[in-house]
Structure 1
Amino acid sequence: MSFKRSISSGAVSRARNYVLNNGISIPVQGYGLHNIPPSQATHLVTQALLTGYRLIDTGRYYNNETETTQGILNFLNDHPEVERSEINYVTKIWHTEQGFDKTKLAIESSLKRAEGLNYIDLFLINSPLSNKRKRLETYQALQESVDQGLVKSIGVSNYGVRHLQELFEWDKLRILPVVNQLEYHPWLKRPEIQQYCQDHDMKIMGSASLTLAKMLSDPLLIDIADKHQCTTAQILLRWGYQQGVISLAGSKSPKRIMENYEAIEKVRELSEDDMERLDFGKCYKVMCPWDPTTYKG
């Protein structure tokens, strides 16, 4: 069964998980910690977990790994019926930490910040912004962390086709990347990257799924949301799920955290007409400051 058929048939409404190419299950919905201040991270992570999220995405550059970990531990302490294995903790290597030795130190540092979780579920290379040697050395260090049982899965973020080809053509690739996390929404569908990832059994993890709130007042989006009696954010999230994407949504508002999590049930399925209206062809509208997938270094 293909990715698209599975999602468009409403499968996500029944099962909130995908299976990665290494056999590990991952939730289709994630709470993202980008731009969440450390002072708020612990509370908001706990709130997200109480809401139902089981995928928590942070990064070394976000400066909130410790606080994110504490939010998870607080939740697990208060809810012993939930196993640690049910929660997916994701973090990322920043580009200034790339290279074998620096990455080893960064992994060690992130593990210390994640003390109490015992391991990191998914470690990503945050972006390709270094050079080929450093990127591949970084991936080698990540592979060794999996060998040592410190990390369960590894992958990349903001990789264009060129960077992905570089990795898959590398003769030392032993552990396949499970995801490529990057900006993804109706105005930035990235068909070439999407096809490459699908051909290599990688999931796309969508960051900026809500367009950094820049398109939430778009008249077309509002019209579709009114039809489904939901928020425009919920339409964007359901759109991502029907594309087969693991969608991240971050918010500082408990109300919006709940609304975002409820998108799967609130909007059971967008119709073919809805999806066609949200098909902007080769539209290339980047909401983030710039697009690292185009990096040529």
Structure 2
Amino acid sequence: MSGSISYTLNSGNTIPKVGLGVYKTSPEVAENIVYEALKAGYRHVDSAALYKNEKEVCEGIAKWLAEDPANKREDLFYTTKVYDDHHGYELTKKSVAESLEKAAKIGYIDLVLMHSPKSDYEKRHGSWKALQEAVAEGKVKNIGVSNYGVKHLNELLAYKDLKIKPAVNQIEVHPWLMRSELCKYCHEQGILIEAYSPLAKARKFDDPDLQTLASKLGKSAGQILIAWSLAKGYVVLPKTETKARLVPNLEVFDIKLSEEDLALLEKPNEYFTTGWDPTVYPLDDEK
């Protein structure tokens, strides 16, 4: 099953529903795992300046593109992110330029995200201005945010010079961290949710309700969790450095979770983060 099945963003562009996450994927591994993922059917790769593997990820994409004339750049979706230490107009322009240089072999970047809201109003605002300009210049097709809470999105949407709304908000979300209010708000604003750490870093694989569903549907715990994100209407970004797991993470589109299945799996009262949570980062007047 191809990972090219897509959603339509508020920009009018499309984004594949399943992407390969490459957080903590070493540069030595990144090129090959991305190449193998594209061969396996993935059409979406999610990197970041912070990951220190943008160049290698793009090398893997370029290798796949060069392999066959039928492999088209427009069929792929490549994401990167501007980290917090490059917030502000000038630094964000610099970060985007550096990311574009690393992506030279693939021509353009499909999506650039603010990696988190962890700076201040002036810097966040300057960054968004720079990202809007990157879209106007044509080398970046879409822009969005990551780890933004409702208050951060409210701030952004109130910018007087807002020309482009965020296409996505990439957040940690899974059945033990459902973020119902935030996800509902994004849906109302036409901002697509992207789920990172959708498998909760395998820390909940022994959950009895998850195991019950996996057994019932004849799928792995990981496949059930990917299917949960898809059932919620999210882009889902499972990460693996293991070639053998690439195809199973795409073999999820036939999984139909019923309302009863979802109710069994979901734990709306839990708050289980596997890493940081900048969605709670204070605004300037809260510090």
Range into which the TM-score falls when normalised by the shorter chain = over 0.9
Residue correspondence of structure 1 range 52-201 to structure 2 within 5 A: 52-201=41-190
* Percent identical: 39
Pair 1:274 & 2:251 matched? no
Contact persistence 1:42–1:70 (CA under 8 A): yes
User: 1:138 and 1:56 mapped to 2: Cα distance?
Assistant: 23
1:286 counterpart letter in structure 2: T
Contact persistence 1:13–1:264 (CA under 8 A): no
Distance 1:253 1:92, change over 3 A: same
User: 1:91 and 1:279 mapped to 2: Cα distance?
Assistant: 30
Per-residue displacement from partner, 1:232-273 (whole Å, max 9, x unpaired)?
A: 0000000000000000011011111111111223x2x11221
- 2:274 equivalent in structure 1: 287
SS at structure 2 position matched to 1:259: coil
Distance 1:99 1:185, change over 3 A: same
- 2:208 equivalent in structure 1: 219
1:229 counterpart letter in structure 2: G
User: 2:242 and 2:227 mapped to 1: Cα distance?
Assistant: 20
Contact persistence 2:23–2:47 (CA under 8 A): yes
**1:14 positional shift:** 11
Per-residue displacement from partner, 1:36-65 (whole Å, max 9, x unpaired)?
A: 111000000001111111110000000000
SS at structure 2 position matched to 1:82: coil
SS at structure 2 position matched to 1:29: coil
Distance 1:35 1:13, change over 3 A: closer
**1:105 positional shift:** 0.7
SS at structure 1 position matched to 2:112: strand
Distance 1:104 1:158, change over 3 A: same
2:219 counterpart letter in structure 1: C
User: 1:126 and 1:14 mapped to 2: Cα distance?
Assistant: 24
RMSD value, Cα: 1.5
SS at structure 2 position matched to 1:275: helix
User: 2:139 and 2:190 mapped to 1: Cα distance?
Assistant: 23
Contact persistence 1:187–1:283 (CA under 8 A): yes
SS at structure 1 position matched to 2:249: helix
**1:217 positional shift:** 2.1
Contact persistence 1:206–1:248 (CA under 8 A): yes
Q: TM-score, normalised by structure 2?
A: 0.96
SS at structure 1 position matched to 2:106: coil
Contact persistence 2:229–2:235 (CA under 8 A): yes
**1:281 positional shift:** 2.4
Per-residue displacement from partner, 1:95-148 (whole Å, max 9, x unpaired)?
A: 001100001111110000001211100000000111111011001000000000
Per-residue displacement from partner, 1:271-295 (whole Å, max 9, x unpaired)?
A: 221111012223211122x211000
Pair 1:206 & 2:195 matched? yes
SS at structure 2 position matched to 1:80: coil
User: 2:43 and 2:174 mapped to 1: Cα distance?
Assistant: 22
Pair 1:256 & 2:215 matched? no
SS at structure 2 position matched to 1:261: coil
Give the number of equivalent residue pairs.
283
Contact persistence 1:18–1:28 (CA under 8 A): yes
**1:79 positional shift:** 2.4
Per-residue displacement from partner, 1:214-240 (whole Å, max 9, x unpaired)?
A: 112222211110111111000000000
SS at structure 2 position matched to 1:92: strand
User: 1:237 and 1:131 mapped to 2: Cα distance?
Assistant: 34
